[in-house]
Structures are given as C-alpha cells and as structure tokens.
C-alpha cells in the first residue's frame, strides 16, 4: 500500500459536526477548574470534568504540588523500577493501601494503562474474563490484549453473570470484571453480590472504582466501603484523575500480586513513573478527604440532587443513576451534539456521549455537578434547562 493510500484510510467524516455546526470535542480550555472555567474565550459553568469534590484547583493541593516541583523538579525521567521510585511514590502507595483498605498498591501513569497492564501480566490464554457489557474501554482493551476468552454478561445482571460462570469450568482461572460506578449511566454495580458469586465459582473479582474512589462510602473510600466489603480478596483499580483530582491509576490487592506486577507488568516497568509533584498532589487530596469528606460530599450531593430533581421535574429523560452523575438521554448523535451546543451557547459545558462510545441512538449528555458549584451557578443552570425545554416544546 502506498503512503498516500495508507493515510487516505484515516479520512475523518465530519458530516455530523457540519450538520450541528458545532464540535464539542477538543475545545480549548484556558483556565483551571473553578466554579466557572474559560473555554474558547468564554466563561462557562463546568459540568464536564470529573472534579467531584471540587478540589483540583484547591490552594493546598497547588501548594503541595509546587513544593514538590521545587524539591524534585519536573520529572524523575525514569521508570519506577529504576530511579523513578521516589519517596513520594512509596508514601503514596502506602497511603492509598490504607485508604482503600487493601494490603499493597502500585501506581501506573494512568488507570487506562493500569487496566491494560494488569491483565497483560496476569491473564493467560487458558483463562476466561467474564466482563460487564458496559465496562470501560480500558478494561475491554486490556482483556482483549491477553488473547484469552472473553464472555460479556448483561449490565449489572447477576443472573446473566451466574449463567456465564456455570459454563466456565474448563478454564484455568476465571476473572470477573466490572466497574463500581458506570461512567456514562451513573449506575452502581451490586459488587457485594458479585464478590459472593465469585466465591461460589472460585473466580477472582476485579473492580474498577475510578468513579467511586473519593465519592462513595461514608468517608469517601469508594465501593468497598460503600457496600461494606471487608474481606476483599480480588483486584482493585482506580483512576487518580477524577475525585482525587490528579493523575495516575492505582492497583491494589494482595502483596504477592503487587510484588509480581512490580517486576512483570510491562506497562509499569517500561513507562516513566509519575513525577513526585503529582504524587504530592494525590497525598494532599487524601489528607483533605480525610479531614473534610463530610462537608465536600454534602455539597456534591446537594448539587447533584438539586439539579437532578429540577431536570426530572422539567420533563428531561434521565438515566436512573444512583451515583453523582446525571445523564440526559438525547437519542441520536446529531440531537446529542445539538443539545451540547445549546448548553454551550448558554455557557454550560457538558460531556456528550455518542456512538461508538454508547450504542447507536443511545446518546447521552453527561453532567457532573461537583462540590465547588456555587448556588448562583446551580440556579442559573437550572433556569437554562427550563428555558431549553420550553423552546423544545
Ligand atoms: C471507569 C474508568 N476506568 C478507567 C478510566 C481511565 O482512567 P485514566 O484517566 O486514569 O486513564 C476512566 C476514565 O475515563 C474510567 O471512566
């Protein structure tokens, strides 16, 4: 194939964007995550980021980051197995382990990388991965890369999971993989029952708690605390770039597994370690959560409940989410993009999910109203939604 033919294959079909006369993706952000943020020179209300606790731009977090930059510089320019394993890396792993409540932890540069790296290191061709049909792309890609058998079960459906497991006897190891909070819908997995079922079938549970850590549970420790799972013997993964307001992907579990990954997970061993200032930021966020979770989570739930109730009263069709994620069902891709455009014109930034991120014609506008959303902006957002609904009627 000629170079011309090769590059010609990657032509981007921009029909949809031209139809909507708006591209909601890769808009340029020119400020940090405050109550209002600046995007494409416009000051807009942020309902798009995963800044659940509203602390990404907190003075204390910024100070911790700057102090670490002053001490260590911008990067260790090395992988964790080499000189990338800073004292802050070690301390953050220890602190995360006790926060999550598991024996030991490791931090990958992102949770996408952790989800890929863990499966590649531990799953073999004669194993099977039984996975929720709506699992995040990083889990699906991670599972696919192993070359082992993948069996999807219906979303959060315990009967479907059990029916799958009944036919898995021939496999060497069974992994059952799911998320705590599903990021487009906001549904929460019945993970306590999933763990019980795993015990029945000698399967190993794997949970991605990216949208649960710092959000769920009485003290923000995530899905295990939320569902009272105290003797978890599976694998735990979570992004540190959402409520924890930094960057990275943590994997936690039994010490023997973590020790093995330290030497045999290529995605960790051959990738530059997170720089100390990011780890300092994570440590400070964990301190804030320890001291202030009650207050922050009350604000977050107040914003979520007020907005959700108002949208539902106005007649919007919402996903039945239990988590602090609000998703409006918007149908096909054009309608979804047009809705996001309407919001942007009204100085609100949301996240539109269209096919192939969601099934065809099942588009949603996702919104996360974080703890830093002011009452004034919350009221303005609600009035805008009411007006848009009136205009659509
Ligand atoms: C459920 C889930 N898992 C993993 C990831 C990836 O996390 P990270 O941004 O740390 O790579 C995301 C982020 O979109 C997510 O929503």
Are residue 115 and residue 187 in the same domain, yes or no? Answer: yes
CATH at residue 245: 3.40.640.10
Domain-located, residue 288: no
Angle at 18 between CA 12 and CA 23, to 5 degrees: 80
What pLDDT band is residue 326 in, cutting at 50, 70 and 90? very high
Local confidence band at 155 (pLDDT 50, 70, 90 cut-offs):
very high
228 alpha carbon to ligand 1 midpoint, in Å? 24
In a domain, 161, yes or no: yes
**Does residue 38 have a pLDDT over 90?**
yes
Judge whether residue 12 has pLDDT over 90: no
Ligand 1, atom 7: closest residue by C-alpha: 111
pLDDT of residue 331: 94
* pLDDT (0 to 100) of residue 35: 84
- Confidence bin at 390 (pLDDT 50/70/90): confident
- Report the percent of the chain where pLDDT is more than 90: 94
Is residue 392 scored above 80 in pLDDT?
A: no
CB-based contact 205:235 (threshold 8 Å): yes
Q: What is the pLDDT of residues 90-121, one digit of tens each?
A: 999 999 999 999 999 999 999 999 999 999 99
Model pLDDT, residue 277: 98
Same domain? For 237 and 309 the reply is no
Please report whether residue 65 resides in a domain: no
Pair (181, 247) in one structural domain: yes
Sheet strand arrangement including 42-46: 36-39, 42-46, 348-349
- Kindly report, residue by residue over 62-76, the tens digit of the pLDDT: 999 999 999 999 999
Structural tokens at position 339: 């809705």
Starting at the edge strand found earlier in the chain, the sheet holding 104-108 runs 104-108, 249-253, 235-239, 204-208, 174-179, 128-132, 149-153
Structurally, the chain folds into a number of domains equal to 2
CATH code where residue 38 lies: 3.90.1150.10
Q: Please say which residue of 243, 274, 305 terminates a domain.
A: 274
Residue 389 has a pLDDT of 87
Q: Is residue 330 part of a domain?
A: yes
Q: What is the DSSP string of 339-358?
A: HHHHHHHTTEE-EEE-TTTS
What tens digit of pLDDT does each residue of 160-210 get? 999 999 999 999 999 999 999 999 989 999 999 999 999 999 999 999 999
**Cα(357)–Cα(10) distance, integer angstroms:** 19
Instruction: Tell me if 319 sits within 8 A of 364, measured CB to CB.
Output: yes
Same domain, 28 and 88: no
186 domain residue, yes or no:
yes
Q: Assess whether 225 and 176 both reside in one domain.
A: yes
Summarize pLDDT for 119-132 with one digit per residue, the tens: 999 999 999 999 99
DSSP, res 168: -
Domain co-membership, 145 together with 244: yes
Residue that is last in its domain, among 246, 274, 302: 274
Are residues 113 and 258 located together in one domain of the fold?
Answer: yes
Q: Is the residue at 280 inside a domain?
A: no
Whether 205 and 173 share a structural domain: yes
Burial of 374 (0-12, 13-18, 19+ CB in 10 A): middle
With both helix axes pointing from N to C terminus, report the angle between 191-200 and 158-166 in degrees, rounded to the nearest 10. 20
Mutational test site, ligand 1, from 223, 235, 239, max ligand atoms within 8 Å of CB: 239
- What SS3 class is residue 58? coil
Please state the atom number of ligand 1 nearest to the C-alpha of residue 183.
16
Q: Please state, rounded to an integer, the average pLDDT across all residues of the chain.
A: 96
Q: Ligand 1: residues within 6 Å at CB?
A: 110-112, 115, 136, 138, 179, 183, 208, 210-211, 239, 241, 249
CA distance 111 to 236: 11
Report the separation in Å between the CA atom of 112 and the middle of ligand 1, taken as the mean of its atom positions: 6
Structural domain that includes position 211: 76-274
What is the percent of the chain with per-residue pLDDT over 70, rounded to a whole number?
100
Report pLDDT for 124.
Answer: 93
Judged against a pLDDT cut of 80, whether residue 3 lies above it is answered with: yes
Q: Are residues 108 and 38 part of one domain?
A: no
101 and 20 assigned to the same domain = no
Could you say which of 227, 247, 274 is where a domain stops? Answer: 274
Judged against a pLDDT cut of 90, whether residue 32 lies above it is answered with: yes
pLDDT band at residue 391 under the 50/70/90 scheme? confident
Residue 180 located in a structural domain: yes
Position 245 in a domain: yes
Q: What is the pLDDT of residue 229?
A: 97
Does residue 360 share a domain with residue 311?
yes
Q: For the segment 222-260, what is each residue's pLDDT rounded down to a tens digit? A: 999 999 999 999 999 999 999 999 999 999 999 999 999
Q: Are strands 149-153 and 128-132 parallel, antiparallel or unpaired?
A: parallel
Q: Supply the pLDDT for residue 14.
A: 87
What is the Cα–Cα distance from 5 to 75, expressed in whole angstroms? 40
Each residue's pLDDT tens digit, 271-301: 999 999 999 999 999 999 999 999 999 999 9
Q: What was the pLDDT predicted at 329?
A: 96
Which of 134, 186, 213, 241 has the most ligand 1 atoms within 8 A of CB, as the residue to mutate? 241
Verify that 203 and 238 share a domain, yes or no: yes
Q: How crowded is residue 301: how many other Cβ atoms within 10 Å of its Cβ? A: 14
Among 49, 112, 212, 247, the mutation site with the greatest number of ligand 1 atoms within 8 A of its Cβ is 112
Report the pLDDT value the prediction gives residue 11, as an integer from 0 to 100: 83
Dist. CA 206–CA 234, nearest whole Å = 6
Q: What pLDDT sits at residue 343?
A: 97
């Amino acid at each position: 194939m000629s170079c011309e033919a090769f590059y010609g294959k990657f032509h981007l079909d921009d029909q949809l964007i031209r139809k909507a006369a708006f591209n909601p993706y890769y808009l340029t952000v020119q400020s940090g995550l405050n109550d209002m943020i600046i995007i494409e020179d416009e000051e807009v209300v942020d309902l798009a980021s995963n800044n659940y606790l509203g602390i990404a731009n907190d003075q204390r977090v910024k100070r911790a980051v700057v102090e670490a930059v002053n001490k260590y510089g911008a990067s260790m320019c090395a992988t964790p197995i080499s000189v990338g394993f800073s004292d802050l890396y070690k301390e953050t792993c220890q602190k995360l382990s006790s926060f999550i409540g598991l024996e030991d932890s490791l931090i990958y540069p992102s949770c996408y990388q952790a989800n890929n790296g863990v499966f590649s290191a531990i799953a073999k061709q004669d194993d099977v991965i039984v996975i929720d049909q709506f699992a995040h792309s990083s889990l699906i890609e991670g599972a696919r890369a192993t070359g082992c058998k993948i069996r999807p079960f219906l979303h959060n459906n315990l009967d479907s999971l059990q029916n799958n497991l009944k036919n898995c006897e021939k496999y060497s190891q069974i992994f059952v993989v799911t998320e705590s909070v599903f990021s487009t819908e906001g549904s929460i997995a019945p993970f306590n029952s999933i763990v019980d079922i795993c015990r029945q079938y000698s399967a190993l549970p794997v949970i991605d708690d990216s949208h649960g850590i710092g959000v769920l549970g009485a003290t923000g420790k995530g899905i295990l605390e939320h569902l009272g799972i105290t003797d978890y013997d599976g694998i735990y993964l979570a992004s540190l770039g959402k409520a924890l307001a930094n960057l990275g992907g943590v994997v936690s579990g039994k010490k023997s597994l973590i020790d093995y990954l330290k030497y045999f997970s290529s995605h960790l061993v051959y990738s530059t370690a997170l720089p100390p200032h990011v780890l300092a930021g994570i440590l400070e966020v964990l301190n804030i959560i320890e001291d202030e979770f009650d207050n922050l989570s009350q604000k977050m739930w107040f914003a979520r409940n007020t907005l959700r109730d108002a949208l539902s009263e106005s007649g919007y069709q919402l996903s039945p989410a239990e988590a602090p994620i609000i998703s409006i069902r918007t149908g096909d891709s054009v309608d979804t993009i047009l809705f996001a455009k309407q919001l942007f014109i009204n100085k609100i930034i949301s996240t539109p999910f269209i096919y192939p991120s969601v099934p065809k014609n099942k588009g949603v506008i996702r919104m996360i109203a974080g703890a830093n959303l002011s009452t004034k902006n919350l009221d303005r957002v609600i009035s805008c939604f009411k007006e848009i609904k009136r205009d659509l009627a």
